[in-house]
């Protein structure tokens, strides 16, 4: 397909053709960029059609065929974002931009987030605001995932474009029976309920002078990106594990009705509490896939010895043969966002993080124009849903700290 024909397209162009087009030296300029934006919007519309189809059928989850269709268009959308970025960079080099377009191009500092925040894929009703493109949203969430212990522990993550998501919960299965030949098969019904997840906002904002942005080395925007990502990840972990459920805070595992809570009251002398927790999960048809502890709880476990008078720790040899942290083969994760001495053992498939699809970092230079400052803002929206509370065991009192001492959480 020729570029002249491509810019006039209003139908979906195959991804292979888009890749070929983006590789051409002549693929640059606002018209080509707009054509790629059209292709992005077509994929987004196709994804929404799949979601709407499930909604119209009164289903809160996608069929396997629908999930494949949805995943395909979303993968294509992400790939097109990368191609579009290449078009933008080629345009900005001005190497192949004709004089007719150069007059429309303003020199812009391209560092950190500024190269991304100036290219908005969506409009905002707020004057002077900037909405980061989906490409940056995906990148930011990937970095957030690397910082968040809850996400790293393997809990399920569901992305949604809706304000509220219904997560189905199976309360009971149909009952199977032995039946004689040609005899009536008893009819039994499964029981279902649904959990309503309402993603809540987690946000951070800071102000920085434009002189610092222009002169800093290393780039202060890149530094702020890392700091804000870490801040949101810590707050997300605090909400996932200890959130009160009082709006605007999400309800965490600690305050989820139906989970198994086992107070120990003292430092154990062995790993029997973890063995009991794993057994509890298995008795409820769940599999322990993660253990998350506070630093104090893990520290108390690390110093357990094989016996009185022995200096040989039991953790490396008796419980784990791997260099990675494990207890009875279950991976261990540590976060400062738990009450000192707490630990959670759970089946990650039964803990669902619902993320609203507008996770962004944005830079705005307009609102504090009179101070010659810019604002950097990070936002995500998420909620926690627990389809099977019996798949979570909460151990408390794993340290000798009196009165359930709490650390100040950041």
CATH code of the domain in which 120 resides: 3.30.2400.10
Asked which of 107, 133, 168 is the last residue of a domain, the reply is 107
Q: Tell me, yes or no, whether 57 and 165 share the same domain.
A: no
Q: Tell me, yes or no, whether 369 and 342 share the same domain.
A: yes
Q: Tell me, yes or no, whether 93 and 170 share the same domain.
A: no
Domain count, the chain: 2
Q: Tell me, yes or no, whether 160 and 99 share the same domain.
A: no
Asked which of 107, 142, 169 is the last residue of a domain, the reply is 107
157 Cβ contact list (under 8 Å, min separation 6) = 145, 151, 352, 353, 355
Contact 304, 270 (CB under 8 A): yes
Tell me the average pLDDT of the chain.
Answer: 78
Give ∠ CA 406-270-148 in degrees, rounded to 5. Answer: 45
| Residue 209 CA, distance from chain mean position | 31
- Placement of tokens 């008078």 in the chain: 309
The model's confidence at residue 161, banded by pLDDT at 50, 70 and 90, is confident
Contact 221, 374 (CB under 8 A): no
In the predicted structure, residue 131 carries a pLDDT above the cut 70: no
What range defines the domain where residue 152 resides? 113-410
Q: Taking residues 283-312, what's their average pLDDT?
A: 86
Q: Tell me, yes or no, whether 158 and 48 share the same domain.
A: no
Tell me, yes or no, if the pTM score tops 0.75: no
Asked which of 60, 89, 107 is the last residue of a domain, the reply is 107
Q: Taking residues 27-54, what's their average pLDDT?
A: 86
- pLDDT attached to residue 118: 30
Q: Tell me, yes or no, whether 72 and 169 share the same domain.
A: no
- pLDDT attached to residue 385: 92
140 Cβ contact list (under 8 Å, min separation 6) = 132, 229, 359, 360, 361, 378
């Amino acid at each position: 397909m020729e570029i002249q024909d491509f810019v006039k397209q209003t139908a979906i162009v195959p991804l292979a053709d888009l890749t070929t087009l983006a590789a051409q030296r002549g693929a640059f300029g606002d018209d080509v960029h707009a054509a790629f934006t059209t292709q992005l919007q077509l994929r987004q519309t196709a994804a929404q059609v799949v979601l709407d189809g499930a909604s119209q059928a009164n289903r809160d989850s996608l069929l396997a065929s629908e999930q494949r269709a949805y995943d395909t268009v979303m993968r294509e959308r992400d790939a097109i974002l990368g191609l579009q970025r290449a078009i933008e960079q080629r345009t900005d080099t001005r190497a192949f931009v004709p004089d007719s377009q150069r007059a429309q191009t303003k020199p812009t500092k391209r560092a950190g987030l500024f190269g991304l925040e100036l290219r908005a894929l969506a409009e905002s009703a707020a004057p002077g605001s900037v909405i980061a493109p989906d490409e940056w949203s995906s990148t930011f969430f990937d970095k957030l995932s690397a910082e968040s212990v809850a996400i790293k522990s393997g809990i399920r993550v569901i992305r949604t474009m809706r304000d509220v998501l219904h997560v189905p919960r199976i309360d009971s299965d149909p009952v199977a029976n032995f039946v004689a030949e040609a005899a009536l098969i008893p009819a039994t019904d499964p029981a279902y309920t649904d959990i309503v997840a309402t993603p809540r906002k987690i946000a951070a904002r800071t102000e920085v002078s434009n002189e610092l942005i222009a002169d800093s080395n290393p780039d202060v925007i890149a530094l702020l990106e890392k700091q804000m990502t870490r801040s949101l990840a810590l707050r997300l972990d605090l909400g996932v594990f200890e959130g009160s459920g009082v709006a605007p805070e999400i309800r965490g595992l600690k305050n989820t009705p139906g989970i198994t809570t086992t107070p120990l009251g003292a430092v154990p002398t062995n790993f029997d509490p973890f063995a009991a927790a794993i057994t509890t999960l298995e008795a409820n048809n769940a599999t322990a896939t993660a253990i998350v502890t506070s630093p104090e709880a893990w520290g108390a476990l690390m110093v357990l010895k094989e016996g009185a008078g022995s200096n040989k720790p039991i953790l490396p040899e008796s419980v784990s043969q791997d260099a990675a942290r494990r207890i009875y083969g279950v991976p261990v994760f540590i976060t400062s966002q738990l009450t000192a001495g707490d630990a959670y053992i759970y089946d990650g498939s039964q803990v669902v993080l619902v993320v609203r699809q507008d996770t962004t970092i944005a830079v705005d230079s307009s609102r504090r124009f009179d101070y010659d400052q810019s604002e950097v803002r990070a936002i995500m929206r998420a909620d926690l849903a627990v389809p099977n509370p019996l798949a979570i065991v909460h151990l408390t009192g794993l340290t000798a700290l009196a009165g359930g001492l709490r650390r100040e959480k950041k």
